[in-house]
Amino acid sequence: MSAKAKGKGKKALPKGLGSDGMPRLPPIPTSAVRKDDPYAKSKLLTHRAAKEKQNLLTKIMLDNAVQAYEATVDHNKHAELTTDNNDEPAYPAQMMSKDRRVRLNYQFLRKCVEEAPVVPIQQQWFDNILKLIPDELKTSKNREVIEETLKEVGENFSKSMQKSLIQLTLVKPAVKGLESDDWSPPGEDAEGLDYSQPWHEDYVASKELIKYNLHILHPAMQQSLAICQESLSSILVVDCTQYRSEGPMEFSSLRNNIILECEKTEDKLMHTWYPSIINLFTDKSAFTSIKPDKQESFYNCVTTLISNQIKDLLVRTIDSWVSLFDENNKENLPYFVWS
């Protein structure tokens, strides 16, 4: 069937209907106010991002084309000045460039140096390292870790010796292809610097200065501190925990008992602790190392040390006396008779 016959077979649609048989809407009338819209030609409304990108891409392509053209013109001018069009191009004497020959030669020499035998680390050095490890860490549980660590130390030592041998034997040429080679020769030592180590002399001098001025390090000081800690640390001037068991008492009686106990404790210390302290400093032969100009400061240090120990005894006694009247301390709180 021809196309003409097919056209005759279709029915014509009534006027005003669409292809789907639905009525068409009339066109929207244009208002006179819309024609006079002042924003119809605004840059903001007429701006199109796609158009701007197309213009920018065109500008970039033109700039690149101009640069390529100028570079080609400069190259042609330079070629016309340096070469003769009638001469045939000269071929190199060798197909391999000089830089490549130098690079390959350096790589071959470096490989030969790398394959050279290197003296391994001495067993004595491993033994010295093991001596620094505590015995409790040398158990069978940690033995495997120690062996792996020593193996790693040996490998690092061999690599360091190999790198040092290459640095001292070869000089890396300044050619392309060796930028990643970090086995360049070591830098030169800075000149004009003092490499002496006077730390030992300074240490000895500081040690003597401390020994001369820091009197607390004297053996007599250590002995007196030990006597004070042994005699004073475990006692109190007044034992306040015993008055609870004595029953009700007047405050005046408690005060008298406290005074008597303080006198007893003082008398006990003067007959036991104090003579032992005095005996330490009566032996003149033990203080011959103290210079005459340092004796006053030495005995001032002794006085300060003993005073601090006695002060600690008194503070502990006062704290015990204050805690005696704490409401929460019902076990040791004494009974008072109020007249």
What total number of domains does the chain contain? 2
* Residue 19 maps to a domain: no
Residue 292 φ then ψ, to 5°: -60, -35
**Listed residues 169, 186, 219: the one ending a domain:** 169
Identify the pLDDT of residue 208: 84
Identify the pLDDT of residue 305: 92
Identify the pLDDT of residue 13: 61
Contact (CB, 8 A) for 221 and 308: no
What's the pLDDT band for 59 if we cut at 50, 70, 90? Answer: very high
My answer on whether 205 and 269 are in the same domain is yes
| Nearest in space to 172 (alpha carbons), one of 181, 161, 164 | 181
**CB-based contacts of 235, cutoff 8 Å, min separation 6:** 265, 313
My answer on whether 218 and 128 are in the same domain is no
**Listed residues 148, 169, 190: the one ending a domain:** 169
Identify the pLDDT of residue 2: 47
Supply the range of the domain harboring residue 213.
201-324
* Residue 114 maps to a domain: yes
224: pLDDT strictly greater than 80: yes
What's the pLDDT band for 272 if we cut at 50, 70, 90? Answer: very high
pLDDT (tens digit per residue) in 73-109: 888 877 666 655 556 666 666 677 788 888 888 888 8
Section 153-177 average pLDDT: 85
Identify the pLDDT of residue 249: 75
The four Cα atoms 191, 197, 201, 202 give a dihedral, to 10 degrees, of 80
Straight-line distance from the first to the last Cα atom of the chain, in angstroms, rounded to the nearest whole number: 143
**CB-based contacts of 21, cutoff 8 Å, min separation 6:** 13
My answer on whether 210 and 265 are in the same domain is yes
Angle at 227 between CA 221 and CA 231, to 5 degrees: 150
| Nearest in space to 309 (alpha carbons), one of 224, 238, 240 | 224
Average predicted confidence (pLDDT) for the chain: 80
Count of Cβ atoms closer than 10 Å to residue 103 Cβ: 18
Which residue is it, tokens 């500081």?
Answer: 206
6: pLDDT strictly greater than 60: no
Of the spans 7-21, 32-46, 234-248, which averages the highest pLDDT?
234-248
Section 183-195 average pLDDT: 62
My answer on whether 145 and 223 are in the same domain is no
Identify the pLDDT of residue 273: 92
Question: 100 is written with which tokens?
Answer: 């490549």
C-alpha–C-alpha distance, residues 262 and 192, integer Å = 73
Q: Which of 184-193, 217-226, 329-338 has the lowest mean pLDDT?
A: 184-193
* Residue 24 maps to a domain: no
My answer on whether 208 and 318 are in the same domain is yes
* Integer-rounded Cα radius of gyration of the chain: 52
Section 168-181 average pLDDT: 80
Which residue is it, tokens 């004070």?
Answer: 228
Contact (CB, 8 A) for 146 and 138: yes
336: helix, coil or strand?
A: strand
Section 230-246 average pLDDT: 82
**CB-based contacts of 301, cutoff 8 Å, min separation 6:** 215, 216, 221
C-alpha–C-alpha distance, residues 237 and 313, integer Å = 7
**Listed residues 146, 169, 192: the one ending a domain:** 169
Q: Which of 27-31, 50-54, 71-75, 84-88 has the lowest mean pLDDT?
A: 84-88
What's the pLDDT band for 1 if we cut at 50, 70, 90? Answer: very low
My answer on whether 206 and 320 are in the same domain is yes
What's the pLDDT band for 5 if we cut at 50, 70, 90? Answer: very low
pLDDT (tens digit per residue) in 11-25: 566 666 766 777 777
My answer on whether 156 and 210 are in the same domain is no
Q: What predicted TM-score, i.e. pTM, was given to this entire model?
A: 0.40
My answer on whether 143 and 227 are in the same domain is no
* Residue 176 maps to a domain: no
Q: Which residue type, as a one-letter code, is found at position 95?
A: M
Identify the pLDDT of residue 304: 92
Question: 285 is written with which tokens?
Answer: 């032969």
Section 203-227 average pLDDT: 85
Separation in Å, CA 316 to CA 243, 267, 270: 18, 19, 19
My answer on whether 224 and 116 are in the same domain is no
* Residue 293 maps to a domain: yes
DSSP state of 10: S
188: pLDDT strictly greater than 90: no
* Residue 44 maps to a domain: no
* Residue 185 maps to a domain: no
My answer on whether 107 and 151 are in the same domain is yes
My answer on whether 216 and 130 are in the same domain is no
My answer on whether 226 and 316 are in the same domain is yes
Identify the pLDDT of residue 309: 93
Q: Which of 3-12, 172-181, 300-309 has the lowest mean pLDDT?
A: 3-12
pLDDT (tens digit per residue) in 279-321: 888 888 888 878 888 888 888 999 999 999 999 999 999 988 8
| Nearest in space to 276 (alpha carbons), one of 215, 225, 219, 216 | 225
| Nearest in space to 303 (alpha carbons), one of 275, 277, 279 | 277
* Residue 186 maps to a domain: no
